[in-house]
Structure 1
Amino acid sequence: MGAAADLDRRAYDLAVADLRAQLAALPSGAPVRLGKRTSNLFRTREASSAPRLDVSAFSGVLHVDPDRRTADVLGMTTYEDLVAATLPHGLMPLVVPQLKTITLGGAVTGLGIESSSFRNGTPHESVLEMDVLTGAGEVLTVTPDGEHAELFAGFPNSYGTLGYALRLLIELEPVQPYVHLRHIACASVAEAADVMAAACRGREADFVDATWFSPDEVRVTLASWAASAPYVSDYTGQHVYYRSVQSRDEDWLTVVDYLWRWDTDWFWCSRAFGAQNPLVRRLWPKRWLRSDVYWKIVAFEKRHGWKTHWDLRRGLPRREDVVQDVEVPVERLAEFMEVFAREVPIAPVWFCPLQQRPAGRTWPLYPLEQDRLYVNVGFWSSVPLDADEPDGTHNRLVERLVEELGGHKSLYSTSYYDEDAFWRLYGGETYARLKTAYDPERRLLDLYDKTVRNR
């Protein structure tokens, strides 16, 4: 099934019937897992030989309605394919996460964010209805106000432990051909926080994010739609986007290149593979300058550990992966970064403002305050460990700090919470009620087991 054109709804119904048959054929009590081709999770799971459901049929766009500004989309559709289907209509999803192979269903059940999130929230907030395959084997159509409204509200941040989104009806918004970027130099995190807060609250731009290079160098990017452009830059080949943020005050990109500006170099993480070395970059095929290629390299290293073993043989210290996205209130951002810069030697760091849409809804498994502006802080690297420091030292510090500052941490990567703290932070009472209602035999993993115990 391709995503660029409308798909046959009858084919979707047949795929649903086949998936339910796959689930029914599993041995009684056998755990249920998906057989996905791509992943953007950074948790190392325990090896499992459990059978997996084939969900390859659930990729594609059923229909784009330009008049209502909606798209009917299958859950395993990547944002790369979704955007390719909506842009010809002059539309895009309200929030397009940074990496091309993030799926719509994954962004809704596992959260997602981008530079439109200060006005559009997160991807689940633009969902109008979903078809969800539950652990009980039912396929339910859930809506904000229908019979299964509690499941609709509890689905975000459940990571497939309450069910899988097979089809989603989402809102879209209009685009213009170009995006005009202004990179504002700030001499401190506090100054950058003030600039972002003013821009978000005053709607001074359509997109807001920032890059922290050091405690005294932060660049806030205010981007706005443009009908025309005096020129357009290209960061899909020899030039690296984040370096332009540091060196330019102004820029123009096509809408496609703006949406995927971070994917080409996985923000800045491609430098770990030598892809930013000018000589290497000239030899590196352009089609391989994309996040899923780098992710496969990382996954290979995690399986085999060749580089880790080589570094240890050379006498280099052990390293701890610190790959996290956290949200802290904008007024506490400077406090967070003061400790982070001192204790966690990672740079650059990404800032992205976030505020829930004013829809009056609550999302109990990831409860943000309705009228409060947060900043997502993204940092993705590894840090050296002292001889007496156990693995997890820096991640545990981040978790404690985020909680102290009234923030939240995404669960796509390694977590260390004890069980009581975890359920207090992530809607334990609501989750237990939903688990009993929609997965009574516990065919799907438990959220704590999946995200902390890595089962």
Structure 2
Amino acid sequence: MQGWTKHEDAVRSLLASWQAIPDAAPVRLAKRTSNLFRPRHRTDSPGLDVSGLDGVIAIDPAARTADVQGMCTYERLVDETLVHGLIPTVVPQLRTITLGGAVTGLGIESTSLRLGLPHEAVLEMDVLTGSGELVTATPDNEHAQLFAAFPNSYGSLGYAVRLRIALEPAPRQVRLRHVRFGSGAEAAKAIAHIAEAGAWDGEPVDAVDGTAFSPDEVYLTLARFVDTDLPVSDYTGSRIYYRSIQQRSEDVLTIHDYLWRWDTDWFWCSGAFGAQDPRVRALWPRRWRRSDVYHRLVALDARIGLSRVLDRVKGVPGRERVIQDVEVPLDRLDQFLTWFDDKIGMRPVWLCPLRTRRAWPTYPLAPGDVYVNIGFWGTVVVPADAEPGAVNRRIEAAVHRLDGHKSLYSEAFYDRATFDQLYDTAGLDRLRERYDPQSRLSTLYDKAVRNS
């Protein structure tokens, strides 16, 4: 009961902070960290006090459920569920992603082909709406429409204060097979087979993701959850996980290290800070080999402009940041990768198959159909007079042509009409009339495109 008492105290503080915000002022969360990659306009308005909403309230091992506060990170959640031999059904790749953030902003991981997206494990949630009301939404109560539209709403409908989620048994270890394919088309055929059979080459597949290093070097990493005690690899020290994909055909990790295998080097992006150089890595404290540390370094560079100075020294005319995750239908995967190799040329890229269990209007993927999330994160050299966002606009257009969707955690450049079509803003507006009649919260378009 102690967890519930603390939660009730935190909710009272949250509601008190709401009352302290002037009536005409916009409502925001007062938090210091973020996994978003888009700029935001600064405001002097006080934010909502969410400082006490970062923990696990209770775990029910028998029911395999957890009541979790919205600002709780997956790192903290996993630490507590593993004590009970359980894990969330889908654990996003980065430790400091919060449960509320993954639900309102769409998380994904290698179990998403089998179990969907993180919000599909949510059984009910308490949402602080734009009117200052705290409502409990479930798939079938009077707030069912809010429940359905909440994923991908990015705070435009309110903030998740408490979520009850389903858990699944945690294995002790994860056996990996890194299977190489000669093209995106070959990998897509393999994904289709795994989606249908739940297995590859006679062995069950519990989780699958992929890494495309070049047009003719594409790997699918097939994971099987096992309760063995085999020798395991450690990629939190001098060894680097993504490089092992090319070097080994099989591997074994503890379940804990498997869940955070991408976090240590922020997929492969730690190389931008020298953290993959053996000399630098030997001096880089292990506790600082984390995605949130690299994220802070990116923010610091944005403020001081060191990379811009170095580019001028090197004679680089200009750069555009290209940090995106997109979903395309499985049968369009090879088309997108071919176009991306030709027009953009960033490598590696991450591949993560998924399928949703039901319709979610704000991110309308066809239930049961297989899509592939394609993640690419970095910068590309552009002419000095290039139009801002030109590369990202070309990517958006290509994804749209292929009947795909783009996640909104990073910069977006869609015109209003296209954005409205893709993200059901008409449906969001109807819900905002009910739950935010004074328009205290920013709209999804304002957040994602106008960066307000």
- TM-score category by the smaller chain? over 0.9
- How far has the Cα of 1:100 moved from its partner? 0.1
Identity %: 57
TM superposition shift of 1:219 = 0.9
Partner residue in 2 for 1:3: none
Could you tell me how far apart the structure 2 residues matched to 1:128 and 1:7 are?
22
Partners of 2:208 and 2:352 within 8 A in 1: yes
Q: Is the 8 A contact 1:7 1:61 kept in 2?
A: no
Aligned equivalents of 1:371 and 1:228: distance in 2?
32
Cα displacement string for residues 366-413 of structure 1 (whole angstroms, at most 9, x for unaligned residues): 010012100000000000002453121111111011111111000000
- The aligned residue for residue 196 of structure 2 is 201
State how many pairs are aligned.
447
Cα deviation for residue 227 of structure 1 reads: 1.4
Q: Would the aligned equivalents of 1:7 and 1:63 in 2 still touch at CA under 8 Å?
A: no
Match of 1:288 in 2: 288
One-letter amino acid of the counterpart of residue 382, structure 2: L
Matched, 1:242 2:242: yes
Partner of 1:429: 426
Q: Deviations over 1:80-131 (max 9, x none)?
A: 0000010111110000000000000000000000000001111111100001
Alignment of 1:276-425 (within 5 A): 276-357=276-357, 361-425=358-422
The two structures, once aligned, show a CA RMSD in angstroms of 1.1
Counterpart check, 1:438 vs 2:447: no
Between stretches 225-234 and 75-84, larger displacement belongs to 225-234
* Worse-superposed segment, 19-28 or 282-291: 19-28
Q: Is the 8 A contact 2:30 2:48 kept in 1?
A: yes
User: What is the TM-score with the length of structure 2 in the denominator?
Assistant: 0.97
State the 1:42 CA deviation. 0.1
Measure, in 2, the Cα distance between the counterparts of 1:79 and 1:7. Answer: 21
CA contact (8 A) 2:124 2:138 kept: yes
Q: Distance in 1 between matches of 2:119 and 2:314?
A: 47
1:25 partnered with 2:20: yes
| Aligned partner (choices 74, 87, 91) of residue 86 of structure 2 | 91
1:40-99 deviation per Cα after TM superposition (whole angstroms, max 9, x unaligned): 000011222221112010011111111111000000000000000101111100000000
- In structure 1, stretches of 5+ residues that fail to align are 1-5
Residues 219 and 245 in structure 1, CA contact (< 8 A), matched pair in contact too: yes
1:217-296 map, 5 Å: 217-296=217-296
- Mean CA deviation greater in 155-164 or 379-388: 379-388
Q: Summarize deviations over 1:148-176 as a string: whole Å, max 9, x none.
A: 10000010001011100000000000111
Q: Which residue of 156, 159, 178 corresponds with 2:173?
A: 178
Match of 1:128 among 123, 144, 166: 123
Letter in 2 for 1:390: E
Could you state the TM-score of these two structures normalised by the residue count of structure 1? 0.97
CA distance in 1, matches of 2:181, 2:359: 34
- Whole-angstrom CA distance in 2 between matches of 1:230 and 1:11: 41
Tell me what 1:158 maps to. Answer: 153
Determine the structure 1 residue equivalent to 2:104: 109
SS in structure 2 at match of 1:8:
helix
User: One-letter code of the match for 1:367?
Assistant: P
Runs of 4+ more than 4 Å apart: none
Question: What is residue 42 of structure 1 aligned with on the other side?
Answer: 37
Mind listing any 5+ residue stretches in structure 2 that lack a counterpart? 200-204
SS of the residue aligned with 2:411?
A: coil
Residue aligned with 2:83, SS: helix
